Amino acid sequence: MKKNLMLFFVLSLLILVSGCSFTNKQNVGQKDPPINDQTKKDNVEESNPLPPVNENISEFSIVKGDNYVTLGEYENQGVLLELFGQPISEEVKVLGSGSDTFTGSFLKNVKYSDFDITFMSPKGDGKKFWILDMKTDSNMYKTKRGIKAGDSVDDLTKAYPDIHIVEDGRIDLNNCAYEFNENRIDYVMFEVAQGKITEIKLFRELP
């Protein structure tokens, strides 16, 4: 009788130990999924998501904090001061006779420490100016989609999947200019050198 009880106890103990071992093996096998290049890429993209897009801002704007300026808008001294500070220089000129329908119009070029902006005023006015173009090489300013000077070509094409290379003869994707437009009037151009954005320019193409 004692032998039977002892045998039963030993068998029960073996079954219990074997069950624990099998469970542990299952857990070990399921602990960590395989890490491959795609997994690493997904983790990087999750940790570096695109910044939120403010739908109230035009694609053809330059943004800094809560302020922004947009192509075609009339000059606003308060916003300009908040964004760029005091200008370094300002020059107004009248377009000559070789400017076709824009003869007599006014152009005002304003330079800041890290930003250039050109305003235009119609013939006979010269007081109310609207934004014709602007450019910067500073990472203090961003486009609507969060792209700034210093960002990579990968950042650029991720934010602007429909962007295209400017057809100026350059074909190296890391050393060229990229251009975005929706209405064939307003443009955002990104100058790229060695895979990094060096300058952002926004401009309106006059008919």
DSSP-derived 3-state class of residue 174? coil
State the residue range of the domain holding 116.
51-204
Determine, yes or no, domain membership for 14: no
Rounded to two decimals, the pTM is 0.73
Instruction: Report the pLDDT averaged over residues 26-43.
Output: 50
Look at residue 148 and tell me if it is in a domain: yes
User: For 73-83, how does the pLDDT look when each residue is reduced to its tens digit (9 = 90+)?
Assistant: 999 999 999 99
Residue 127 falls inside a structural domain:
yes
83 three-state secondary structure: helix
CATH number at residue 95: 2.60.460
For the chain, the domain total comes to 1
Q: What is the mean pLDDT of residues 124-149?
A: 96
Give residues with Cβ within 8 angstroms of 164, minimum separation 6.
178, 179, 180
Confirm whether 156 is domain-assigned: yes
Task: Quickly count: other Cβ atoms within 10 Å of residue 63's Cβ.
Answer: 20
10 domain-assigned: no
Q: Is residue 184 in some structural domain?
A: yes
Q: Which letter does DSSP use for residue 146 in this model?
A: S
Of 131, 135, 151, 120, the C-alpha closest to 51 is 151
156-181 pLDDT, tens per residue? 999 999 999 999 999 999 999 999 99
Mean pLDDT within 58-62: 96
Residue 89, in any domain of the structure:
yes
Q: Which residue has the higher pLDDT, 61 or 6?
A: 61
pLDDT digits (tens, 9 = 90+) for 90-101: 999 999 877 778
- 187-197 pLDDT per residue, tens: 999 999 999 99
Q: How many CA atoms lie less than 13 Å away from 187 in the CB half-sphere?
A: 18
**What is the rounded CA–CA span in Å between residue 205 and residue 145?**
22
Write out the two tokens for 67: 């302020």
Is residue 81 situated within a structural domain?
yes
